[in-house]
Chains A and B, each alone.
Chain A
Amino acid sequence: MLGIGITQLRRSTPEVSYKELMFEAAIKAYEDARVDPRKDVESFVCSSEDFWEGTSIFDEYVPDQIGGALKPVCTISADGMYGLATAYMQILTGLFDVVAVEAHSKASDIKNLDSIYDLSLDPIYTRPLGLNASFIAGLEMNKFLHSRAAPISSLRRVVAKNRGNALLNSLAMNGAKLDPYELSHSEPISYPLSSHDIAPVADGAAVAVLASEEAARNFRDDPVWIAGVGWSSDSPTLETREWSEATYAKLAARQAYKMARIQNPMQDIQVAEIDDTYSYKELQHAEAIGLAGHSKAHELLEHGDFDRDGTLPVNPSGGSLGMGNTLEMNGLVRVIELALQLRGEAGAHQIHGVQTGVAQSWRGLPTTSGAVIVLSNK
């Protein structure tokens, strides 16, 4: 990974368009990678979904502001980490040496987020039931707590940890010093889910530049290496999925760890940036990708292991709860935060002495799809 560029994440960005956000992230990434987008970057991969954008065939609107016009450019309708996986495959084929990956969110332009979530449900079987995203998340959260016999206070602790971490991250928009005990008095939206458990949506853009090993060495001495990539999906229907487990993350991690030759993730990984768009998801995902034994994540968390100064810091950036939920950009935010840690450039939230880290993303409700990437600075 030659270069990374990211804008600040903010609740709204009325003074710029999505094109200007993308431009800012692209310029930063190309400067960081020391590449000329028109000369050195051979292919561009964007990640977006039409309904988030309010435009059909959003691929039409991506090339100019990232330097991709009249070049191989494509869109992957998924999270940015899937875009990154596509760029990674493109390089491995031998077709290209340098590929840029982009993802962004202009969530503040979306008038009614809930109605878009509703449109992702099966139009025949489940949409007529009038479920909404918070209702589904509440069900899943309840199932998670019940199946682990975990106290709800552990989820308040996830919120307090991540929003506290975000106070030290200049890109984050939702940092706060919170007392988990105070949070436990908040009213549920859909029992046991309360508004504190939901990462608020944010605007922003991110770009990463990938290169083959040979080309990377021409551009810089200290790139961060992609050691493994994986992605997977479980059942898309609410009726037939495994509600208590994040099987998609487990399968994605298996693929990524195999590639990275990681046999014991709890030992081999020093830092993790994982999906926490709902508080319980951090613990569910931590277990799924092997950072905790089954039913053990809440115990490790309560013990302080996932804190910034713990044995395995999880979301030292603040995660989505602390930084903001940037929709299809979330995966790329996690990867960029991990890359900053491995470069020793994470500033006030730097974890010292990290060599290998894992980033994980989930496409959000109602999907069961997600990706895992292992990065290393060795």
Chain B
Amino acid sequence: MRSMNIKKRVAVVGAGMTKFMRRAQETGKELAFEAVRQALDSAKLRIEDIDSVSMGSAPDAFDGVHMKGEYLLDGAGGWRKPYSRAFVGGGTGVFSPIHGWFHVASGLFDTCLVVAEEKMSSCLPHPQTAFLTIFDNMLERPLGPNLIWIFALEMQRYMHVHKIPKEHIAQVAVKNKRNALDHPSAQIARKVTLQDVLSSEVMAWPVQRLDISPVSDGACAVILASEDVARKITDSPVWIDGVGWNLDTTYWTNRDLYFPRYVANAARMAYSMAGIHNPRREIDFAEPYDPFDYKELHHMEGLLLCRKGEAPKLTVEGVTERDGKLPICPSGGLLGVGNPIAAAGMMKICELFWQLRGEAGKRQVPGDVRTAVAQAWGDLMQIGTVVVMRS
């Protein structure tokens, strides 16, 4: 990578988000439309003002629609525009804005509408069955693995290497579900106690029901603009100053899962672009990907926000609370707001936008927040996608 000589600085100028819910009555197109409508309204723009569109959505198997990006096209505002879909599994929600960033930072387009939509509920009997088809046809699928099973392996390894008690990890679920009480779009915001999490149903040890984010439907959208255009649209643009992504080897069984080195690589790429040398000190708050409670901790370490194995301790000490020294997932995260895969990652980008503009309402992180990082994770415990934003 050559030293950062980025052609155009890119800002987020608008954001929109539907309610996240278990079973939406709307089609995927309609969910996308609602998020786009809100994003356009928030920036006081019309669809005619949009030069290009980037779509994000996770596996076609959820909807049973081949070329799902093409199907969603009109709902997402892509009609007669340069429109395309980037797809990196669960990492998509934070990669789509990076894909949108290419459109604007390259100088090819002044604006790009980035839409992320997921409708998991149409997969029957349960979307988990769609995930059975992500495994290697010959080597793994005959074993019938599912996501909870492989993440239990990863969680176990993380706990074992750092000797982390389950109680420390469960604290993340308590915090995020409580934070989500302040999010108007949240699906499973609630007050739970540590004991509730620890006594919830065991899915695949050490993973229990309340350690996991729910199945959701929903959509999010943001509007990106080049610096000169952004300044005409709004007085308070939020800048995308760093992007990073990194994909590890397919052969996850050959890796030590205790640390997500691919997230660390992606974070280093984004920090170096944003000129951040000491993320621990320079990042004011973070939205790491938290589909499981241990993943928030795993990703805090991958994002170099603390030392390896230190994240559980910071959580127990209250450092990661919304009013703590390093707020983590002030939105409520996937554990509280919900997890419509691609839209969940984008929800974190929306949260950065609202927080950095001081528009997060009851969720607003106290004090002067200027720099924040969002991250998503996906494929076979394999890809990290990272965006650094500044007010």
Contacts and interface: CB of A to CB of B under 8 A. Distances in A.
B131 A56 contact: yes
B84 A72 contact: no
A363 B389 CA distance: 35
Contact of B248 (A63, A74, A120): A63
A107 to B, nearest CB: 14
A82 interface: yes
A275 B156 CA distance: 51
Contact of B249 (A55, A64, A82): A64
B278 interface: no
Interface in A42-80: 42, 49-51, 54-57, 59-64, 68-78
B264 to A, nearest CB: 10
A82 B261 CA distance: 29
Contact of B99 (A71, A86, A94, A251): A86
Given A56-B59, A59-B247, A77-B69, A233 B80 contact: yes
A21 to B, nearest CB: 15
A72 B85 contact: no
Contacts of A51: 60, 66-67
A367 B60 contact: no
Contacts of B68: 77
A86 B83 CA distance: 11
Interface string A73-111: 111111000100110111011111100000000000000
A116 B66 contact: yes
B205 interface: no
Contact of B71 (A117, A236, A251): A236
A89 B112 CA distance: 13
Contact of B87 (A55, A61, A75, A96): A75
Contact of B67 (A54, A75, A93, A120): A120
Nearest to A69: B249
B143 interface: no
A311 B78 CA distance: 36
A23 to B, nearest CB: 13
Contacts of A213: none
B104 to A, nearest CB: 9
Best-buried of A94, A117, A119 by chain B (most CB within 10 Å): A94
Nearest to A86: B102
A57 B58 contact: yes
Contact of A89 (B63, B108, B133): B108
A52 to B, nearest CB: 8
Given A60-B89, A76-B86, A120-B65, A93 B80 contact: no
Nearest to A119: B66
Contacts of A88: 106
Given A55-B134, A57-B134, A70-B246, A123 B83 contact: no
B7 to A, nearest CB: 5
B59 to A, nearest CB: 4
Interface in A4-63: 42, 49-51, 54-57, 59-63
A77 B250 contact: no
B70 A72 contact: no
Contact of B73 (A68, A72, A117, A236): A236
A78 B2 contact: no
B30 to A, nearest CB: 11
Contact of B84 (A50, A82, A124, A234): A82
A42 B244 CA distance: 12
Interface string B358-391: 0000000000000000000011101100000000
Given A94-B5, A123-B65, A55 B137 contact: yes
Given A86-B99, A94-B2, A57 B379 contact: yes
A230 interface: yes
B130 A56 contact: yes
B246 A233 contact: no
B147 to A, nearest CB: 11
A369 interface: yes
A231 B109 CA distance: 12
Interface in B88-117: 88-89, 95, 99, 101-103, 105-108
Contacts of A77: 67-69, 84-87
A57 B69 contact: no
B195 to A, nearest CB: 36
Best-buried of B85, B130, B136, B265 by chain A (most CB within 10 Å): B85
A85 B85 CA distance: 12
B84 A59 contact: no
A61 B136 contact: yes
A247 B102 CA distance: 25
A56 B249 contact: no
A235 interface: yes
Nearest to B266: A72
B61 A56 contact: yes
A86 B65 contact: no
A352 to B, nearest CB: 33
Given A57-B58, A69-B248, A70-B248, A76 B1 contact: no
B81 interface: yes
Nearest to B382: A60
Interface string A221-251: 0000000011111111100000000010001
B84 A74 contact: no
Given A50-B61, A72-B247, A55 B133 contact: yes
B184 interface: no
Contact of B4 (A70, A94, A369): A94
A72 B269 contact: yes
B20 interface: no
B102 A90 contact: yes
A268 B106 CA distance: 26
A251 B107 contact: no
B86 A74 contact: yes
A315 B145 CA distance: 46
B165 to A, nearest CB: 32
B245 interface: yes
A54 B7 CA distance: 39
Contacts of B81: 232-233
Given A55-B134, A56-B131, A92-B106, A71 B246 contact: yes
25 contacts: A50-B60, A55-B136, A57-B378, A59-B247, A60-B89, A62-B250, A64-B249, A68-B247, A69-B248, A69-B250, A73-B247, A74-B88, A74-B99, A77-B85, A85-B84, A89-B103, A92-B108, A120-B65, A120-B66, A231-B84, A232-B80, A235-B73, A235-B79, A363-B70, A367-B67
Interface of A: 42, 49-51, 54-57, 59-64, 68-78, 82, 85-86, 88-90, 92-97, 116-117, 119-120, 122-124, 229-237, 247, 251-252, 255, 363, 366-367, 369
Leading 9 A-B pairs by shortest Cβ distance: A92-B106, A73-B247, A89-B102, A56-B59, A120-B66, A119-B66, A93-B105, A57-B89, A89-B106
Given A57-B378, A69-B249, A73-B245, 6 more contacts: A60-B134, A63-B250, A77-B85, A86-B84, A86-B99, A97-B2
